[in-house]
Chains A and B, each alone.
Chain A
Amino acid sequence: MDLTFTAEERAFRDEVRAFLNEKLTPDLKRAHHLTPSVFSDPPVGNRWQKILHAQGWAAPLWPKEYGGTGWSLAQRYIWEIESAAAGAPSVTPMGLRMVGPVIMKFGTQAQKDYYLPRICAAEDYWCQGYSEPGSGSDLASLKTRAVRDGDHYVINGSKIWTTHAHHANMMFALVRTSDEPKKQDGISFILIDMKTPGISVRPILTIGGDHETNQVFFDDVRVPVENRVGAEGQGWATGKYLLEFERGGAMTSGRLRAILADIEKLASTYRDGEKAYAATETFALRRSQAEIDIDALEMTELRIMSSLQSGQNPGSVSSSLAKLRNSEIKQSLTALAVDVLGQDGLYWEGHRPLYEMNAEPGIPEDALTALPEYLNSRAYTIFGGTSEVQRDIIAKVVIGM
C-alpha cells in the first residue's frame, strides 16, 4: 500500500500535463475561473468536452467498450487533480455521469448504440427531470403523468430545478405510468426530446443572479414508448441508481483544492494593514482547516475508487458521504472567499457572463465570482438530495432499521 506514483504513472501525469498545456487555452481557463454558477456554461463546458472527446478522454468513468478511457485508479486520480489544478472547465455530469451509466445498465442495445456515443461526443445536451413543484426531497411522490396511447406515452405535468433545460436538447425524467399502493411503484424512467411539441421552459434565477435552472411544463407531450429505459413501473430503482452516481463516484476533492488555491491567491492580493490578508492568523487557520477537510475527502474518494471497478455503482453510504462532505466543504470555501473580500463583499455585479463584461468592474476581476458563488453554493446541500436526506440514507444503512 502506498501513495507514490510509479514511473508509468509519472509518465501518464506528464502526458496529461502536456495535453492540458496545449489544449486548455487561456480563454477556456478564464471562462471557467469567472463562472459563479454550479455548472459550466454549456458553450464553455461543451467546447472542452469536445476537445477531450477528440483525445479519447471524455469518459474516464466509463468502461472501455462504451468509449471510456480504461484508466486505472491512479490514472483517473491524476487526471482529476491535474485538470482541476490547471483550471479546466467541468463538463456537464448530466450525460456522462447520470443518464449514461443508467443506459449502460438498464438500456436496450438500440438505446446504448444510439445515445452513448452521442453523450460521449457532447452531441446531445441532457437535463434532469426529477424534482417537481410538489415533490422535492419526497421525490417518489412525483405526479407528472405518462399515459400510454399506442406506441406513445402522453406526458402532462411539470418539472422544476431543471438545470440547463434552456440549453438541453434531451431530458431524462421520472414519470408516473400507473397508480400503485406504494408510491415508489408505478414510476418509469423516460428519455424526452426537448423539441417535442407541448414542452415549455420558464427560467428561474438563482440568488447569485445566474440563470441555471428552470421549470419545465409538459402539455400533452407525446414520447415514443421505445424511449423508456428499463421496464414500465421500475423507474424508481433506475432513478435511485442514477442518484448514487450523481452523489458520488467522482473525484471532487481536486476541484476543491483548486478553489482553495484560488482563494489563497485572492487573499494574497487583499490587505490587512501592512500585511497581506493571506498572512493573517485568521486566514491561515481557516485555510488549514479547509485543506485538512479536503485531504480527508480526497482519501475517502480514493478509498471508494479503489474498491470499485470502472462503471460500477459506488454504493449508497459512500456516495452519500462523499456528496455530504463535498457540498459542506464547497460551502465553507465559498464563505472563506467572501471573507477575503472584506468590504468588497458589498459590491454586486449583475452582468452575466462575467467573462464577457462590457465595462471594467468596480472590484478586481478575480474577486467577482466570490459573492455569487457563495450564494449559489447554498444549493449544494440541497440538490441531489438534501444533506438531511443523505443523513437519513446513511442512518438507515448503518442502523439497519
Chain B
Amino acid sequence: MDLSYSDEQRLLGESANNLLAARAQKPGAADLWKEMADMGWLALPLPESDGGLGQGIVDVGIVTEAMGRHRARSNYVAGVVLAGGLVAALGNDAQRAALLPGLADGSLRLALAHAEEGARYNLAHVAVTAKKSGAGYVLDGRKVAVLGGDVADRFILSARISGGTRDAGGIGLFVVAKDARGVTVDGHATVDGAGAARVTLAGVEVRADALLSDNALAAIEQAYDRATAAFCSELVGLMEAATKATIEYTKIRIQFGKPLAVNQALRHRMADMSIACEEARSMALRAALHADDEDARSRSRAIAGAWAKVSRSARFVAEQAIQLHGGMGVTNELEIGGYLKRVVALDAIIGGPDLHLRRHAALTQHAA
C-alpha cells in the first residue's frame, strides 16, 4: 500500500496546471485538443502498443483535476477514456491500429455514442438496432448526449444485435464514420460549453470489420466506471477552485463595514465547503485506485459510492459558491457560475448522487 504520488505524477500535475491556467487566461487562443495531444495527455491511458503511454486512471485523474480547477471546456474523458478505452479493450489489432494512434496524436477525434432517450443511465438500454445484412450490418435509431459528437470524426456506437431493449446480452459496438450514408449529426451547445451531439442512423450500412464486439456491455460498464473515476478527480479540482474563489471574494467584499469573511455563518459554510473538498479528494483517489479492479462488482460499487459522495459534495460547493458571491454569483459577469454548470453537466452525463446511492445499495444487496 502506497498513497504517495511519484515524481512523474507530480510533474504531470504541475505541467497540467500550468498549461491550463495559462489557457484559462486566454480562452480560444489555441486549439486545446491539439495542445493536449502535444502534452501526451490524449495518449496517457491508451496501451503502449497502440501509441499510448499505458497509464492508469490515477494519472488521467491528475489531468482532469487540473481541468476542473481551470474550467477547461473539453470532452477529454469522453474521447480518451470512454471511446478510446473501448477501442483499446475490444478492438482487434487492425481496428486499434486504425484508430488509437490517431486519437493519441490528436489527428482523429472519437466519440462514444451510447446513451439513448429513456435509458436513464441504464447502460444495458440499447434500442438502436444492428441487423445483419450480408457480411455487414444495417444500423437504425438515435443516440443522444454524444459527448464531443459535434466534432468527432468517428463514432464508437452501440447497437442491439439481439435481445430486448434492456437485455444485457446482444449489444454490439461499431465504428461509424460521421459522414457515412444515413448518419445525421445534430451538434448542440451544452450547459458546460463542452459540446455534444444527437446522432440519427437511418439504414446506415457498415462492414463486418466495423464491429468491435457483439457483446459489449461489460466493457461499456467498465469504461463508464473508469470515466466516472476521472470525472470525480475533475470535480475535486473544480470544488477546490470554487472554494478558493469564494474565500477570496468574502475577504474583499465589505458589508456592514467589515469583510463578509468575518461572519461566523459564512465562515462555517466555507469550512463545510473545505471539508467537502477533502472528502471528495479522498473519494476520487479511492475511485481511481479501484477503477481497474478485476472484480467488476467491487469496481462498480466503489465507483458508484465515490460518485454518490463526490457529485453531491460538488453540487453543495458549487451552489454555495454562488450563494456566497451574492447577486454577482448569479450573473455571467463572474465565472463562478461556470463551476455549477459543469457539475450539472456531469450529473446529466453520469446520473446524480441519488441514482448512484441506489446503485451502490443494489450492488451491495446483490453481493450479499
Binding site for B on A (CB under 8 A): 1-6, 9, 73-74, 77, 279, 281, 284-285, 287-289, 291-293, 295-300, 302-303, 306, 317-318, 321, 324-325, 388, 390-392, 394-396, 398-401
| B251 contacts A401, C-beta separation under 8 Å | yes
* Chain B residues in 8 Å Cβ range of A325: 275, 279
Could you list 6 further interchain pairs (A-B, Cβ under 8 angstroms) beyond the known A295-B309, A300-B282?
A: A1-B2, A1-B5, A6-B1, A325-B275, A390-B271, A398-B243
Contact pick for B357, options A2, A6, A285, A324, CB 8 Å: A285
| A3 contacts B357, C-beta separation under 8 Å | no
Is there a chain A Cβ closer than 8 Å to B58's Cβ?
A: yes
- List the 4 shortest-distance A-B pairs measured between CB atoms, nearest first: A299-B282, A395-B267, A74-B1, A391-B271
Contact pick for A1, options B3, B261, B306, B358, CB 8 Å: B3
* Chain B residues in 8 Å Cβ range of A297: 279, 282
Most central of A291, A292, A395, A400 by chain B CB within 10 Å: A292
| A324 contacts B275, C-beta separation under 8 Å | yes
* Chain A residues in 8 Å Cβ range of B302: 295
| A398 contacts B279, C-beta separation under 8 Å | no
B58 smallest CB distance to A (angstroms): 6
Scan residues 329-368 of chain B and give those whose CB is less than 8 A from a CB of chain A.
357-358, 360-362, 364-365
A321–B273 alpha-carbon span in the complex (Å): 12
| B283 contacts A296, C-beta separation under 8 Å | yes
A401–B250 alpha-carbon span in the complex (Å): 11
Contact pick for B289, options A2, A5, A74, A392, CB 8 Å: A2
* Chain A residues in 8 Å Cβ range of B267: 391-392, 395-396, 399
Interface string of B123-145 (1 = CB under 8 A from A): 00000000000000000000000
B281 smallest CB distance to A (angstroms): 8
* Total contacts A-B at CB 8 Å: 126
| B279 contacts A392, C-beta separation under 8 Å | no
| A9 contacts B283, C-beta separation under 8 Å | no
Is there a chain A Cβ closer than 8 Å to B268's Cβ?
A: yes
Known: A74-B1, A288-B361, A388-B268. A394 touches B274 (CB 8 A): yes
B352 smallest CB distance to A (angstroms): 14
Is there a chain A Cβ closer than 8 Å to B278's Cβ?
A: yes
A20–B291 alpha-carbon span in the complex (Å): 32
A300–B271 alpha-carbon span in the complex (Å): 16
A297 smallest CB distance to B (angstroms): 8
B349 smallest CB distance to A (angstroms): 20
A73–B1 alpha-carbon span in the complex (Å): 8
* Chain A residues in 8 Å Cβ range of B261: 399, 401
Known: A302-B3, A399-B247, A401-B261. A291 touches B305 (CB 8 A): yes
A252 smallest CB distance to B (angstroms): 14
Contact pick for B251, options A4, A306, A399, CB 8 Å: A399
* Chain A residues in 8 Å Cβ range of B3: 1, 3, 73, 302-303, 306
| A391 contacts B4, C-beta separation under 8 Å | no
A296–B310 alpha-carbon span in the complex (Å): 10
Known: A1-B9, A295-B286, A321-B275. A77 touches B365 (CB 8 A): no
B62 smallest CB distance to A (angstroms): 10
A256 smallest CB distance to B (angstroms): 14
16 interchain pairs, CB-CB under 8 A = A1-B2, A73-B3, A284-B364, A287-B361, A288-B308, A288-B364, A293-B309, A295-B286, A295-B302, A295-B309, A296-B286, A299-B286, A302-B3, A325-B275, A396-B267, A398-B243
| B1 contacts A300, C-beta separation under 8 Å | no
| B268 contacts A391, C-beta separation under 8 Å | yes
B266 smallest CB distance to A (angstroms): 9
A308 smallest CB distance to B (angstroms): 11
Binding site for A on B (CB under 8 A): 1-6, 9, 58, 243, 247, 250-251, 259, 261-262, 264, 267-268, 270-272, 274-275, 278-279, 281-283, 285-286, 289-290, 302, 305-306, 308-309, 357-358, 360-362, 364-365
A394–B268 alpha-carbon span in the complex (Å): 8
* Chain B residues in 8 Å Cβ range of A293: 309
| B279 contacts A77, C-beta separation under 8 Å | no
Residue in B closest to A395 when the chains form the complex, CB atoms: B267
Known: A287-B361, A288-B357, A288-B361. A77 touches B1 (CB 8 A): yes
A387 smallest CB distance to B (angstroms): 9
| A303 contacts B282, C-beta separation under 8 Å | yes
* Chain A residues in 8 Å Cβ range of B306: 292, 295
| A288 contacts B271, C-beta separation under 8 Å | no
| A299 contacts B270, C-beta separation under 8 Å | no
A392–B274 alpha-carbon span in the complex (Å): 12
| A299 contacts B271, C-beta separation under 8 Å | no
| B1 contacts A3, C-beta separation under 8 Å | yes
| A399 contacts B270, C-beta separation under 8 Å | yes
* Chain B residues in 8 Å Cβ range of A6: 1
* Chain A residues in 8 Å Cβ range of B268: 388, 391-392, 395
Residue in A closest to B360 when the chains form the complex, CB atoms: A288
| B361 contacts A285, C-beta separation under 8 Å | yes
| A3 contacts B361, C-beta separation under 8 Å | no
* Chain A residues in 8 Å Cβ range of B58: 1
Residue in B closest to A305 when the chains form the complex, CB atoms: B3
Residue in B closest to A318 when the chains form the complex, CB atoms: B278
* Chain B residues in 8 Å Cβ range of A2: 1-2, 289
A247 smallest CB distance to B (angstroms): 14
Residue in A closest to B268 when the chains form the complex, CB atoms: A391
B195 smallest CB distance to A (angstroms): 32
A396–B264 alpha-carbon span in the complex (Å): 10
Residue in A closest to B362 when the chains form the complex, CB atoms: A284
A103 smallest CB distance to B (angstroms): 30
Contact pick for B270, options A285, A296, A398, CB 8 Å: A398
A54–B259 alpha-carbon span in the complex (Å): 57
Residue in B closest to A394 when the chains form the complex, CB atoms: B271
A299–B1 alpha-carbon span in the complex (Å): 12
Known: A1-B6, A285-B358, A288-B364. A398 touches B282 (CB 8 A): no
* Chain B residues in 8 Å Cβ range of A302: 3, 282
| B282 contacts A296, C-beta separation under 8 Å | yes
A4–B271 alpha-carbon span in the complex (Å): 33
A33–B100 alpha-carbon span in the complex (Å): 56
A321–B72 alpha-carbon span in the complex (Å): 30
Residue in A closest to B58 when the chains form the complex, CB atoms: A1
A325–B309 alpha-carbon span in the complex (Å): 13
* Chain B residues in 8 Å Cβ range of A400: 247, 251
* Chain A residues in 8 Å Cβ range of B283: 292, 295-296, 299
* Chain B residues in 8 Å Cβ range of A288: 305, 308, 357, 360-361, 364
* Chain A residues in 8 Å Cβ range of B2: 1-2, 306
Contact pick for A281, options B271, B282, B285, B361, CB 8 Å: B361
Residue in B closest to A285 when the chains form the complex, CB atoms: B361
| B285 contacts A303, C-beta separation under 8 Å | yes
B79 smallest CB distance to A (angstroms): 25
